[in-house]
Amino acid sequence: MADEPINPPPAPPGDDGKPPAPAPAAPKPAAPAAAKPAAPPPKPKGPIATDASAHPVVARLKEAIPDSVLSAKELVGQVTVEVPASRIVDVCRHLKEKEAFTYLVDLTAVDWKERQPRFDVVYWLHSFEKDNFRIRLRAGVADGEACPTVSGVWLTANWMEREVFDLFGIPFSGHPDLRRILTWDGFQGHPLRKDFPVEGIDTGAAIYPDRYPDGGGPAPDDSNRKVVS
Amino acid sequence: MSDERAGTAAQVSEAGPPMLGLREMELNFGPQHPSTHGVLRLVLKVDGERIISARPDIGYLHRGTEKLFETETYPMVVPHTDRLDYVAAATNNHAYCLAVEKILGLELPKRAQYIRVLLDEMQRISSHVLWLATAAIDLGAITPFFYTFRDREVILDLFEDYCGARLTLNCMKIGGLPEDLPPGWVERVRTFTEQLEARYDEYEDLLTENRIWKQRTIGVGILTAEQCIEWGVTGPPLRGAGFKWDIRRAIPYECYPELDFEIPTFPNADTYDRYRVRIAELRQSRRIVLQCCDWLLKNPEGEIRAKAPRVIKPVVGDVYAAVEAPKGELGFYLVSNGGNKPYRLRIRPPSFINLQALPEMAKGHLVSDLVAIIGTIDIVLGEVDR
């Protein structure tokens, strides 16, 4: 299993890695047929992911919360543990209290668009006591599904989750103050979703407050919505 | 939105004149206030002059940088990172390049590592010096501004001679550096850096034992080490709370293990100790710059680039790399799907995360202390809002 393609997302890399591939292939002047074999050679040059389920922290986590570890991988010395979103709070609490991961470095999300579940919520934990060891947790969350908040475990998760909510539209259940943070209240859409246009949307609110009374842009199905270029 | 309008003229007239000490008032602080160093808006709940709660409202400078990253090839991302913490572009470039190099498995030649560290530390000096100037001017001390800008100017000139830019440096590229150092540059850096110790003493003469400065900063905005960790606060605020932790030592990168420097800490976790930590870091950065200069003078020739592929297409995977930026831990989380553009590139911005602790620090202080507290976190809104 571990020798299979080096994959951060469990299922998709085969299918998911390809759809965006036409763009990467474009700058190459080579024929599209030649571009295909050109892609594999760089792969062995880079680092290779290995199975990390035997890592002591992962093993102890599995022992404490039996259904918590779906898989564990290690790439360039960074351990990633796949956990079910429903158990994320238990896992985080265990890691913070029993394993001294007192510092939540980062919390973010990745949109895999075609994959099910669509999103990965990614946690990056740091332990001062364990010689600055870090571990990454990844939880798959479907579109529209809520992810339990870890802002009760680390206070710093508060704004990070608000940002993920704002930019990806993943709601965090139990969050004390789940509001948009970087875009404004009433903004339509979630900019870091892959289906949000890079050019932005016409948020004509400032110019046409009567047409957009809520202070945001047009709704996704509004005929006034257009891509600004 | 409507609750934020509470306390405006309209509402006050409805409720009759406010009685200080009897009634809470909501007050907008920023986004145009000069002490907010950009476009930070704070919604304060005050009882007279005392702050009951402060709620930061950010996003005025949001440019969708992370979205832009996904549309550009790996080398094209570097100039965008300049615009995050725009007073410390070198460390931003560095953090991003580290992340890509990590997933490519590149090992940099020694000379490139030393030049990078040299640029980083010069950047740290210029960033801390800028912080000192603005934080002091916020509290009414105008003189340090002239002293510090005199020295910052020289560093910016040196940057300009190296890469052509003063702020948005774009001075690193994946696998090394864009250009070798111009002739005579290292000698000039060394000559200037040698004088810096005396310059730091001048700053300290103005502030360290200054009665007004001490009265305005001692005991103001306390954030203990436990609170710092709970809030994810890194950088000078963490070390100013007596917690000895610095990425340069904790998770070393480049040639830092070969360099001799200390991690200064001070125990009191207040604004004054954060000031002292930054001054001490200036002195340590100076030591590092001198060591790098000496090494580079001894090794004037050598590779400045690793053998990076012409078209950068990392393996499928994800990687996180961090550097000790002047503001704290700056990290990049890179998710690659095997293409020539990052599938997702997340910035872990120290300013954004440190700012989150501001309400905790401001609680119970006077409005005028808030100015000191905003200054002491050392935020750059380009990084907060991205």
Give yes or no for a contact between A71 and A10, defined as CB atoms under 8 angstroms apart. Answer: yes
Residue B120: closest CA among B231, B250, B253, B263:
B253
- Region B107-125: mean pLDDT is 92
What does pTM read for this prediction?
0.82
> CB-CB: which of A76, A106, A185 is closest to B331?
A106
Locate CATH 1.10.645.10 in chain B.
76-385
* DSSP code of residue B113: H
For chain B, give the percent of residues with pLDDT over 90.
44
Task: Report the CATH fold assignment for B76-385.
Answer: Cytochrome-c3 Hydrogenase; chain B (1.10.645)
What pLDDT does residue B153 have?
A: 92
Do B59 and A76 count as a contact with CB atoms less than 8 A apart?
no
Q: Residues in chain A, how many? A: 229
Residue A94 CA: distances (Å) to CA of A68, A123, B230, B284: 11, 14, 16, 38
For chain A, state the CA radius of gyration.
21
Query: Residue A66: inside a domain, yes or no?
Result: yes
Measured between beta carbons, which residues in chain A are less than 8 angstroms from residue B344? 110-111, 192
For chain A, give the percent of residues with pLDDT over 90.
19
The pairing of strands A103-111 and B344-348 is unpaired
Predicted confidence (pLDDT) at residue A68 exceeds the cutoff of 90: no
- Region B260-273: mean pLDDT is 91
Residue B85: closest CA among B76, B93, B73:
B93
The pLDDT tens digits for A14-55 are: 444 444 444 444 444 444 444 444 444 444 567 777 877 788
- Helix, strand, coil percentages in chain A from 3-state DSSP, rounded to 5: 25, 20, 55
> Positive or negative, the Cα torsion across A193, A195, A199, A204?
negative
Give yes or no for a contact between B223 and B361, defined as CB atoms under 8 angstroms apart. Answer: yes
> Positive or negative, the Cα torsion across B85, B62, B374, B246?
negative
The pLDDT tens digits for B269-328 are: 899 999 999 999 999 999 999 999 999 999 888 888 888 788 888 888 889 999 999 999
The pairing of strands A71-75 and A50-51 is antiparallel
Predicted confidence (pLDDT) at residue A212 exceeds the cutoff of 50: yes
Predicted confidence (pLDDT) at residue B253 exceeds the cutoff of 50: yes
Give yes or no for a contact between B311 and A28, defined as CB atoms under 8 angstroms apart. Answer: yes
- What is the nearest CA distance from B68 to chain A, expressed in angstroms? 7
What pLDDT does residue A129 have?
A: 84
Do A24 and B231 count as a contact with CB atoms less than 8 A apart?
no
Cβ atoms within 10 A of the Cβ of A33, count? 7
- Cβ-count burial of B55 within 10 angstroms (0-12 exposed, 13-18 middle, 19+ buried)? middle
User: ipTM higher than 0.95?
Assistant: no
Structure tokens at B114: 């030393």
List the Cα angle B303/B309/B315 in 5-degree steps.
Answer: 125
What pLDDT does residue B274 have?
A: 92
- Region B16-38: mean pLDDT is 69
- What is the nearest CA distance from A183 to chain B, expressed in angstroms? 6
Predicted confidence (pLDDT) at residue B232 exceeds the cutoff of 70: yes
Rounded to whole angstroms, how far apart are CA atoms A190 and A187? 8
**B299: amino acid identity, one letter:** N
Measured between beta carbons, which residues in chain A are less than 8 angstroms from residue B31? none
| Chain centroid to CA B249 | 18
Q: Which residue has the higher pLDDT, B173 or A11?
A: B173
Do A198 and B344 count as a contact with CB atoms less than 8 A apart?
no
Confidence of residue B201 (pLDDT cuts 50, 70, 90): very high
What pLDDT does residue A202 have?
A: 64
Confidence of residue A162 (pLDDT cuts 50, 70, 90): very high
Q: Residue A156's domain spans which residues?
A: 50-173
Residue B167 CA: distances (Å) to CA of A126, B127, B349: 32, 11, 18
Mean pLDDT score across all residues of chain B: 87
Which residues of chain B from 47 to 76 reach within 8 Å of chain A, CB to CB? Answer: 58-59, 62, 64, 66-68, 70-71, 73
What is the number of CB-based contacts under 8 A between chain A and chain B?
147
Residue A138: closest CA among A125, A126, A151, A128:
A125
Confidence of residue A216 (pLDDT cuts 50, 70, 90): low
Give yes or no for a contact between B149 and B72, defined as CB atoms under 8 angstroms apart. Answer: no
The pLDDT tens digits for A93-117 are: 988 888 889 999 999 999 998 888 8
- What is the nearest CA distance from A34 to chain B, expressed in angstroms? 15
Give yes or no for a contact between B274 and A6, defined as CB atoms under 8 angstroms apart. Answer: no
Q: Which residues contact A77 (CB under 8 A, 6 or more apart)?
A: none
B353, closest residue in chain A (CA to CA):
A156
Rounded to whole angstroms, how far apart are CA atoms A169 and A146? 10
What pLDDT does residue B52 have?
A: 87
**ω before B31 within 30° of 0 (cis)?**
yes
Give yes or no for a contact between B53 and B85, defined as CB atoms under 8 angstroms apart. Answer: no
Which has the minimum average pLDDT: A205-209, A223-227, B42-46, B262-266? A205-209
- Helix, strand, coil percentages in chain B from 3-state DSSP, rounded to 5: 50, 10, 35
List the Cα angle A40/A44/A49 in 5-degree steps.
Answer: 115
Measured between beta carbons, which residues in chain B are less than 8 angstroms from residue A110? 318, 335, 343-344
Query: Residue A181: inside a domain, yes or no?
Result: no
Predicted confidence (pLDDT) at residue B353 exceeds the cutoff of 50: yes
Q: How many CA atoms lie within 13 A of B24 on its CB side?
A: 10
Q: For position A118, which CATH number holds?
A: 3.30.460.80
Which residues of chain A from 75 to 134 reach within 8 Å of chain B, CB to CB? Answer: 75-76, 78, 80, 102-106, 108, 110-111, 122, 124, 128, 132, 134
Q: Which residue has the higher pLDDT, A184 or A97?
A: A97
- Give strand pairing partners of B345: B334
For chain B, give the percent of residues with pLDDT over 70.
94
The edge-to-edge listing of strands for the beta sheet with B50-57 is B25-29, B41-47, B50-57
- Give strand pairing partners of A80: A73, A136
Q: Which residue has the higher pLDDT, A68 or A211?
A: A68
Structure tokens at B308: 């990076």
Measured between beta carbons, which residues in chain B are less than 8 angstroms from residue A136? 318, 320
Split into its structural domains, chain A has a count of 1
Q: Which residues contact A66 (CB under 8 A, 6 or more apart)?
A: none
Query: Residue A33: inside a domain, yes or no?
Result: no
Sole residue written with tokens 């210029």 = B126
Query: Residue A149: inside a domain, yes or no?
Result: yes
- Region B40-62: mean pLDDT is 87
B218 — contact with chain A (CB < 8 Å)? no
Query: Residue A196: inside a domain, yes or no?
Result: no
Give yes or no for a contact between A72 and A53, defined as CB atoms under 8 angstroms apart. Answer: yes
What pLDDT does residue A21 have?
A: 41
Which residues of chain A from 134 to 193 reach within 8 Å of chain B, CB to CB? Answer: 134, 136, 154-156, 158-160, 167, 180-185, 191-192
What pLDDT does residue A219 have?
A: 65
Cβ atoms within 10 A of the Cβ of B187, count? 12
Rounded to whole angstroms, how far apart are CA atoms B322 and B332? 6
Rounded to whole angstroms, how far apart are CA atoms A135 and B255? 24
- Region B184-193: mean pLDDT is 92
What pLDDT does residue A27 have?
A: 45
What pLDDT does residue A53 have?
A: 77
Which has the minimum average pLDDT: A163-167, A203-207, B124-128? A203-207
Q: Residues in chain B, how many? A: 386
